[in-house]
């Protein structure tokens, strides 16, 4: 009894001290991220020393080829044109999915929400499937465009369904948003199944895309992702304190100087666009948006001004690690969406069950 | 005059909730709003805090149209303590109370030592200082209610709106909370507008009572004039007997059992 009390106090102390020093944690994570990128770039079929990786990157950025004059050209090509675009895409997509996960959880007042709860990913997948089926010749750009439009239209429909005076008295209520997302998502899933059914030969392409992949990404993908995710992050970070207050409920937030309806709408659109762009480039990658904010919350606490930046970096680390595992560690390349779901799913079950048991113990 | 409300109506698609409400609320009084369930009390408060906008009519706040005041300004003038408050994220109690200072702290700066002093002194007064490091998700309903109350006091507003703020509290904490509010009304000319379920509690603390029924004001005035058998029959459909309670120098209502209960 006394022991239990003491340990409770000690864990609380540890948690409190962890909550502080966010800046240091962020720096540490950034260092880990850089290390992960460099190590990952060196790994693969063609092994490249870390020192050489750094030299190649530095010389490409500065335009000074003096440092790498002893290296074979193929190393530079592999690093700069093959691996780095893929790795940076993984980092940015991971960061984007994690940040939009934070926002969804904050807006829906539900620590178990993620970019997929609102059917956004199903919309993107449906759009991409359409593109595969009807415009197979339109080239690389058709798929992201269709995926993005699918996500945007889905978001619009979900918001339209859940707003309005009849449906909810408080503007956008989290319950009606989640419900609308599930309804729309189910319809779209059925639509995707139908498209697969009539796709004949194209079906394998659709299935492969749906499982997610960073293979053969280019610098164009990197720049598009970087632009959208960094813009999105800045907007989201600007409203991160408002997101804290929204956790108190709409009425309370109204009396603390926040236009709940407007802030919710801005954050919802921004984070959905970020998620949509990520999905349109990489395909469906589940559990990052759900898992990362959930884990980071136990390090930083629920305060979004700390949670969001830390999740941004942590999401990047997580996804680049996962991508490196499928690319360079496993003997066969497993689709990244499958890998994150296979590892993330059971891990999440564990976290969820543990929290559940702990809470029940407290109530008893 | 804090609030001058002129002929406001509010309706959902399903029908009118409030109709033709006009009332003046003055500075430095404790107002109690009473009425049966579903009579529009909470919606009325939502209009006062501008969480909802009336379909017609106007609300003037300190001489300015309420809808013209910026939300941030308003957050320094009006604070709300609502019922059934629940947070799904493990904020500490102190973090929640600090949120009450947000209207005074710019977006990217952290609270000043003056803000924190204010927070600590209010937390001590409301007795939540002992809970300071606890997670809000792990508190009982009554404890949470006191935290929300502390958060509202920290906001340093001229008006505090209580929406059945004491319905989760035991009698000790109910009295403590209402005493704190009453003292602020008397000493600092604070205006309190509170929805009550308990008519006797309202009679003990309020200067003015407002009776709502079916979305309109049935009666309003000084507390001692409002507590009578006829009015209570009209508002609540309950027979009662009024007794004077010398201890508080107020009337108290004794309710009679309904005719149905005699079976």
Residue-wise pLDDT tens for chain B (263 aa)? 899 999 999 987 777 789 889 999 999 999 999 999 888 898 999 999 988 889 999 999 999 999 999 999 999 999 999 876 778 888 999 999 999 999 999 888 888 899 999 999 999 988 899 999 999 988 888 889 899 999 999 999 999 999 988 888 889 989 999 999 999 999 999 999 999 999 999 999 999 999 999 889 999 999 988 998 899 988 988 888 898 888 888 888 888 876 655 54
Chain A residues with CB under 8 Å of B100 CB are 256
Instruction: Report CB contact under 8 Å: B95, A301.
Output: yes
Q: pLDDT for A160-196, tens place per residue?
A: 888 764 433 445 677 788 888 889 999 999 999 999 8
Kindly state whether residue A30 falls inside one of the protein's structural domains: no
pTM over 0.90: no
- The interface pTM score, or ipTM, of the predicted complex is 0.84
Burial class (CB in 10 A: 0-12, 13-18, 19+), A165: exposed
Phi, psi dihedral angles at B63 (to 5 degrees):
85, -5
- Would you say B83 and B168 are in contact if contact means Cβ atoms under 8 Å apart? yes
Chain A contact for B51, CB < 8 A? yes
DSSP state string for B94-142: HHHHHHTTGGGS-TTSPPPHHHHHHHHHHHHHTT-GGGTTSBGGGS-HH
Instruction: Report CB contact under 8 Å: A251, B133.
Output: no
Kindly state whether residue A330 falls inside one of the protein's structural domains: yes
Kindly state whether residue A19 falls inside one of the protein's structural domains: no
Chain B contact for A60, CB < 8 A? no
Kindly state whether residue A339 falls inside one of the protein's structural domains: yes
Q: Which structural domain range is residue A231 located in?
A: 88-355
| B259 secondary structure, DSSP code | G
Looking at the 3D structure of chain A, how many domains does it have? 1
Kindly state whether residue A33 falls inside one of the protein's structural domains: no
**Residue B69, both tokens:** 């005041």
Handedness of CA A38, A44, A50, A54 (dihedral sign): negative
Kindly state whether residue A267 falls inside one of the protein's structural domains: yes
A90 or A355, higher pLDDT: A90
Out of A241, A250, A302, whose CB is closest to B107? Answer: A241
| A333 secondary structure, DSSP code | P
Chain A residues with CB under 8 Å of B74 CB are 255, 257
Chain B residues with CB under 8 Å of A300 CB are none
Please tell me the distance from the alpha carbon of residue A178 to that of residue A181, in angstroms, as a whole number: 5
Kindly state whether residue A362 falls inside one of the protein's structural domains: no
Please tell me the distance from the alpha carbon of residue B180 to that of residue B106, in angstroms, as a whole number: 29
Kindly state whether residue A50 falls inside one of the protein's structural domains: no
> Closest Cα partner for A174 from A108, A113, A112?
A108
For residue A183, the domain's CATH number is 1.10.3470.10
CA distance B117 to chain A (A): 20
> Closest Cα partner for B135 from A202, A106, A247?
A247
The pLDDT of A231-257, averaged and rounded, is: 91
Please tell me the distance from the alpha carbon of residue A142 to that of residue B129, in angstroms, as a whole number: 59
**Residue A135, both tokens:** 């415009």
Phi, psi dihedral angles at B78 (to 5 degrees):
-125, 130
Q: How confident is the model at residue A363 (pLDDT cuts 50, 70, 90)?
A: very low
What are the E-state strand segments in chain B? Answer: 3-12, 15-25, 30-34, 56-61, 64-65, 78-81, 159-163, 191-195, 208-213, 216-222, 240-245, 250-255
């Amino acid at each position: 009894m006394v022991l239990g009390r003491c340990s409770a106090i000690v864990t609380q102390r540890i948690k409190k001290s962890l909550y502080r020093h966010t800046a240091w944690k962020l720096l540490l994570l950034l260092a880990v991220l850089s290390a992960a990128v460099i190590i990952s770039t060196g790994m693969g079929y063609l092994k490249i020393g870390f020192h050489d990786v750094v030299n190649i990157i530095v010389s490409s950025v500065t335009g000074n080829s003096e440092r790498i004059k002893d290296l074979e050209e193929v190393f530079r090509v592999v690093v700069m044109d093959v691996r780095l675009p893929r790795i940076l895409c993984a980092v940015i997509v991971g960061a984007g999915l994690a940040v939009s996960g934070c926002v969804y959880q904050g807006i829906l007042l539900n620590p178990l929400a993620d970019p997929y709860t609102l059917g956004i990913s199903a919309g993107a997948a449906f759009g991409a499937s359409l593109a595969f089926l009807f415009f197979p010749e339109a080239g690389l750009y058709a798929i992201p465009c269709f995926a993005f439009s699918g996500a945007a239209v889905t978001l619009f429909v979900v918001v339209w369904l859940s707003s309005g005076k009849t449906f909810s008295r408080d503007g956008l209520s989290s319950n009606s948003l989640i419900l609308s997302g599930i309804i729309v998502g189910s319809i779209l899933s059925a639509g995707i199944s139908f498209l697969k059914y009539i796709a004949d030969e194209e079906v394998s392409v659709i299935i492969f895309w749906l499982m997610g992949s960073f293979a053969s990404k280019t610098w164009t993908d990197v720049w598009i992702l970087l632009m959208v995710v960094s813009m999105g992050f800045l907007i989201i970070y600007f409203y991160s304190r408002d997101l804290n207050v929204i956790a108190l409920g709409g009425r309370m937030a109204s009396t603390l100087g926040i236009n709940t309806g407007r802030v919710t709408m801005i954050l919802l659109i921004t984070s959905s666009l970020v998620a949509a762009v990520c999905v349109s480039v990489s395909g469906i990658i589940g559990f990052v948006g759900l898992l990362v904010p959930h884990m980071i919350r136990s390090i930083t606490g629920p305060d979004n001004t700390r949670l969001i930046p830390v999740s941004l970096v942590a999401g990047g680390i997580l996804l680049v690690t996962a991508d490196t595992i499928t690319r360079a560690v496993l003997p066969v390349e497993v689709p990244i969406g499958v890998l994150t779901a296979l590892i993330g799913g059971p891990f999440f079950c564990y976290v969820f069950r543990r929290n559940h048991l702990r809470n029940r113990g407290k109530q008893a | 005059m804090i609030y001058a409300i002129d002929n406001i109506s509010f309706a959902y698609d399903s029908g009118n909730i409030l109709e033709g409400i006009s009332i003046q609320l003055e500075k430095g009084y404790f107002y109690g709003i009473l009425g049966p369930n579903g009579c529009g009390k909470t919606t009325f408060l939502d209009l006062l805090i501008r969480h909802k906008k009336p379909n017609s009519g106007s609300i003037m706040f300190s001489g300015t149209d309420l809808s013209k005041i910026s939300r941030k300004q308003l957050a320094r003038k009006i604070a709300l303590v609502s019922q059934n408050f629940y947070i799904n994220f493990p904020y500490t109690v102190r973090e929640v109370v600090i949120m009450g200072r947000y209207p005074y702290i710019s977006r990217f700066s952290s609270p000043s030592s003056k803000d924190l002093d204010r927070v600590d002194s209010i937390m001590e007064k409301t007795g939540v200082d002992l809970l300071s490091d606890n997670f809000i998700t792990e508190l009982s309903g009554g404890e949470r209610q006191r935290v929300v109350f502390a958060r509202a006091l920290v906001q340093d507003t001229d008006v505090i709106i209580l929406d059945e703020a004491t319905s989760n509290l035991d009698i000790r904490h109910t009295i403590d909370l209402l005493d704190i509010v009453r003292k602020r009304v008397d000493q600092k000319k604070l205006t309190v507008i509170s929805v009550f379920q308990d008519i006797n509690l309202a009679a003990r603390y309020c200067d003015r009572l407002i009776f709502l029924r079916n979305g309109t004001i049935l009666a309003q005035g000084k507390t001692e004039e409002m507590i009578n058998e006829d009015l209570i029959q009209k508002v609540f459909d309950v027979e009662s007997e009024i007794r004077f309670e010398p201890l508080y120098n107020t009337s108290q209502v004794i309710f009679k059992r309904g005719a149905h209960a005699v079976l």
